[in-house]
Structure formats: structure tokens, C-alpha cells
Amino acid sequence: MEVVKKTTWVLMLLVLSFQSIAFANPDKNTQHTIGEIFIIPSKVLSQDRSIQVYLPPSYHQSKKKYPVLYVLDGQWHFTNAVAIQQSLRVPSLLPEMIVVGIVNSEPLRRAMFGGQREEFQQHLADEVLPFIDGKFRTSPDRLLFGWEMGAFFSTFSLFHEKQLFNGVIATNGGDASDQAISQFSDMKMDSEKYLYIANSIRDVYTIEYSDELSKQLSKKVVNNLNWHYQQFNDELHETLPYVSMYNGLKHFYHNFDTLSYSSIDEFVKLGGMEYLEAYFAKRGERFGLSKSISNSTKNNLIWIAWNRDNYEYFHRFMTVFKDVLTTKRYDSAYWQNRFGRFYLKHGNLKSAKQYFTNAITKYPNTALLHQGLAKVYVAKGNIKLARENFVKAVELATLSSDPDLAEFETDLINLKT
């Protein structure tokens, strides 16, 4: 169990700011709503049911299928789910998603999530999910978010013999019997399910249920389940849903984002290139993405090695990831000079000369490149070519009023004959 201290004011501000730009409901001039509201006549529950559906911005411009996040108590938490889609790193950290808010009012929600939960599970299976899948382009990924009483239904649904969702986010509540967990563990499934549990010690109403569920799941290995319990002990009963929804989505999509390392030590400890290649292979297989290491991860590792002055790994990454060096990002005198200077600093004169020479061919009027090449020739003992390039650097700097002109002139003066 991981104890995390966080505040929710940022996400709450995002929600409030998004509400101010919500789409107008054409049927009610005085009311604003996000997405579209549908009424589903339910034979299972013998009543008309209301759901709210948000489609991501790219939906009408593409033909792809989208995962769906079903939000229990949509009357409270639907807006937060949309704010996460609109305001955070989508579709980088998380994919674009269809969001479905399932509206329930008090005291109806307590009956539906409690004594009538079998009927509500059937309502989802026979009426809500088929409606969404039939009307919209949906992928197989379905997630369910539930808070408080909704969390108890969410965990009930996860361990139910009728499997409806690939992942569940249960915040401020949740439970399951040992029998239900054992039956779940014995099921034959095509892929593992995800469960994210969140609570706070400040929620004296439900913390014991989350703790107990975590203890039950910890007793033995539960097949088919990737689960995590996290406490946010600065949060209250009413504030935790904003934080837990975002972190629950990150748990489910833990390998959707490209990898970003903080240090070479982290790269080594995680397993180096073997881990890196396996990560992207699994990521590609799970989400239908490329199985190749992303350019952003390659850039991240090159930059870390350069920034930490780790020549061994810098040269290794520059060799293994040489394809990324041909991308537009590095097509500049600035980057070519950086690379040349780093190799020069660490005594690899061959590589340094190559970078400066190639860069001068493309950017002949860059004084820094000529200065760099001159320093290479100084290190090689070729004073004649060093002087020629120092002179060129001074000439170019004079023409462009380069602020480094004095430095170039000093280099030339100090050059030994």
C-alpha cells in the first residue's frame, strides 16, 4: 500500500473552468451540459434511465474505435472525467475516451448499488452497454468508476461471473467475499483485469472497507487481476474522487505512455535495453501501437546522458538510436554543435570532427561550428587547419555582431604557432 499526500484544488479548478465552456443544450436555453443526454427505457429496472455521453474531439474526424469510461453517479463525477480528457496529457499519457455518465439520484442510487445490484448489473449488461456499443465506435476496453456506494457496486461487478469491464476504479469503498475472489481467480480470461482502490484515513466512513479488501486480495495470488491500493491521506470523503479517477486511469493505462527516465541509474535498474524493448513490444501489442522504441524515449535517454556528462551511455545511445539523429529535431546547427562539443570534451576527436564537418557543410556561416572544428584540430596538433577555422569563426562573428566574437579572437591570439 502506498501512502500519498496530494491536494485536489488543481483538478477541481480544471473541472470548474471546463464547466464555463460547456456545450449549450439546444433544447434548454437556460441550461448548459457537456456532451449529449440519452434516455434509455429499461425493462430490467422498469423505468426510464438517463445517461450522458461525451465524445472526444477527434471522434467525428476519424474512423478509429475508442475505449469507454463508464462513470457511476454521473450527476456528480461525469464532469471530472471529461475535464481529465480535456485538460491533461491526452492522448499521450492517456488515450482519448468516450465518457458515459450514468445518472442516479438519492435514495435510488443506494438501492441500485446495494440491494438491487444484480438487477443493475443486468441493466448494464443488457441495456446500457449494448446501446453504447451499437451507437458509437467503441473498442473492447471498458472501465467503470464508482465512488462510495458506487465503489461497492464497482467491485461487485468486477468479481461477478458476468464480466463486463476490463478495469474498475473503486474510491471510498468497495468489498468482495473470499468466495467471489476465488471464483474470479479460477475464471478463464483472455486478458487480465485491473482494479484500482483509493481511500483516505480521513474518510472514517469507508476506510475500513478499502483496507479489508486490500487485505483479502493480499492473502494469495489472484489470477487475472492487476490491482493496486493507494491512500491519499490529505483528502476527505468528498474530495478524493477527483484524484482517484485520474490515478486509476493511469493505473489501467500504466504502459500507454512512452517511457521517460529520470537518470541513467533508473535505466539500468529497470533492466536497460532488454526492459526497454520488452516494454514497447507489450505496449504495442496491448494498444495496437508501434512496437518500436519511441523517438521521445530515445531523445530522453540521449539528453540524460549528455546532461549527466555520462560519456559511456551517451555514445552508446547515439550509436543504438542513430535513426533518431536524422529527425527534424536535430536538424540544426545548435544540436550538431552540442554533439560535436561533447565528443570533443571526452576526447573522441573522430566523432567530434565528423559532427563539426558535416554541420559546416549544411550551416557554413555558423561561427561556433568553425570554432569547434578549430579546437578539434588543436587537439590533433594540426595548427594550420586550426588557424584557418579560428580565422573563419572571427570573420563570421564580426559580420553577424556575434556576442562571442571576443572569445573567438582570444582563441586565435592564443593559438601556438
| CATH code where residue 336 lies | 1.25.40.10
Least confident of 7-11, 43-47, 166-170: 7-11
Look at strands 47-54 and 98-102 and give their pairing. antiparallel
| 244 and 306 together in one domain | no
Final residue of a structural domain among 202, 218, 252: 252
| 284 and 182 together in one domain | no
71-87: average pLDDT: 92
Residue 259 lies in a domain: no
248-272: average pLDDT: 95
Side chain identity at residue 387, one-letter code = R
The domain in which residue 29 lies consists of: 2-252
| 204 and 300 together in one domain | no
What's residue 417's pLDDT? 61
Distance CA 43, CA 22 (A): 32
Residues 6+ apart with CB under 8 A from 70: 100, 102, 124, 128, 142, 143, 144, 145, 165
Q: Are the CB atoms for 240 and 198 separated by under 8 Å?
A: yes
Residue 258 lies in a domain: no
| 67 and 185 together in one domain | yes
Q: For the chain, how big is the Rg over CA atoms in Å?
A: 29
Q: How many domains does the chain have?
A: 2
313-326: average pLDDT: 96
Say what the alpha-carbon torsion angle 204, 206, 211, 214 is, to the nearest 10 degrees.
-160
Continuous segment of H or E residues that includes residue 200: none
| 224 and 345 together in one domain | no
| 194 and 303 together in one domain | no
Residues 120-132 have pLDDT tens digits of: 999 999 999 999 9
Residues 6+ apart with CB under 8 A from 400: 365, 367
| 179 and 313 together in one domain | no
Residue 318 lies in a domain: yes
What's residue 187's pLDDT? 94
pLDDT of 401 > 90? The answer is: yes
Q: List residues bridging with 38 in a β-sheet.
A: 51
What's residue 94's pLDDT? 87
| 80 and 224 together in one domain | yes
Residue 257 lies in a domain: no
Distance CA 141, CA 228 (A): 19
Continuous segment of H or E residues that includes residue 52: strand 47-54
**Phi, psi angles (nearest 5°) of residue 396:** -65, -40
| 63 and 89 together in one domain | yes
Distance CA 297, CA 286 (A): 19
What's residue 30's pLDDT? 42
Residues 6+ apart with CB under 8 A from 365: 396, 400
Q: Are the CB atoms for 11 and 243 separated by under 8 Å?
A: yes
Distance CA 101, CA 36 (A): 10
pLDDT of 24 > 60? The answer is: no
111-125: average pLDDT: 95
Residues 149-202 have pLDDT tens digits of: 999 999 999 999 999 999 999 999 999 999 999 999 999 998 899 999 999 999
pLDDT range class, residue 7, cuts 50, 70, 90:
very low
| 187 and 54 together in one domain | yes
Final residue of a structural domain among 194, 219, 252: 252
| 318 and 358 together in one domain | yes
Residues 6+ apart with CB under 8 A from 182: none
What's residue 85's pLDDT? 85
Final residue of a structural domain among 220, 252, 284: 252
199-225: average pLDDT: 95
Say what the alpha-carbon torsion angle 374, 379, 383, 388 is, to the nearest 10 degrees.
-10
Residues 336-389 have pLDDT tens digits of: 999 999 999 999 999 999 999 999 999 999 999 999 999 999 999 999 999 999
